[in-house]
Amino acid sequence: MNRPVELRTQRLLLRRWRKEDRDAFAAMCGDERVMEFLPALATRAESDAAVDRAEAHFKQHGFGYWAVEIPDEAAFIGFVGLARPRFEAAFTPCIEIGWRLASAHWGQGYATEAASVAVVFGFEVLNLPEILSFTVPMNVRSRRVMENIGMRHAPEENFDHPLLPEGHPLRRHVLYRLTREDWETQLRDDEPTEGASDRV
């Protein structure tokens, strides 16, 4: 598959996973803050299995959850990327965008920056018609990232996560969508107006 394996932004490198990322990822997955809205802290075997799944997704589809690095500063700060959900729901099959960063690096716009380039990849390289995302209603940080990249909440499509049992406190999820059409419109609207600098 002739697709770029690495994506770059002003501050970040999104790349395939390395063996050395596994320790840092396991530490993140044992952090109560990072895992607050996920069903449980992950054991080492579970965090390694998640890395294996991410790499398998790259091999099968040519894209996936990229490991995120801050060049010359932090070798691994978490993941951001695109994936096919592993469960069936009213809105699947689809491609979702997801993220998980180490809490030491939160609040600096990194998730938004990495997600923005993943969205460009999704629309320009994969030619997707749409990208979806979901989380629990209380996960305001994650919802802000969705909104930052132009996604729209589709309240009528909120759903119960099929991999969680009835009555589980994290079962209810909000669903967000970003269509290619909306993304292109937002890009056009964000472009500086021609000749604007002449008027300053």
Ligand X SMILES: CC(C)(COP(=O)(O)OP(=O)(O)OC[C@H]1O[C@@H](n2cnc3c(N)ncnc32)[C@H](O)[C@@H]1OP(=O)(O)O)[C@@H](O)C(=O)NCCC(=O)NCCS
Residues that bind ligand X (CB under 6 A): 34, 37, 99-101, 106-112, 135, 139-142, 144-145, 148
Q: Cβ closer to ligand X: 62 or 148? A: 148
- For the CB of residue 79, give the shortest distance to ligand X in the complex, in Å: 9
Please state the separation of Cα 175 from the chain's center in Å.
14
DSSP states along 54-121? HHHHHHHHS--EEEEEETTTEEEEEEEEEE--SS--TT-S--EEEEEE-GGGTTSSHHHHHHHHHHHI
- For the CB of residue 41, give the shortest distance to ligand X in the complex, in Å: 12
Q: Cβ closer to ligand X: 99 or 183? A: 99
Other C-beta atoms within 10 Å of 59: how many? 10
**162 token code pair:** 């099929």
Q: Cβ closer to ligand X: 62 or 94? A: 94
Q: Cβ closer to ligand X: 107 or 137? A: 107
- For the CB of residue 170, give the shortest distance to ligand X in the complex, in Å: 10
- For the CB of residue 134, give the shortest distance to ligand X in the complex, in Å: 7
- For the CB of residue 42, give the shortest distance to ligand X in the complex, in Å: 12
Position 185, amino acid? T
- Rounded CA separation 146/135 (Å): 10
Q: Cβ closer to ligand X: 82 or 101? A: 101
Please state the separation of Cα 153 from the chain's center in Å.
16
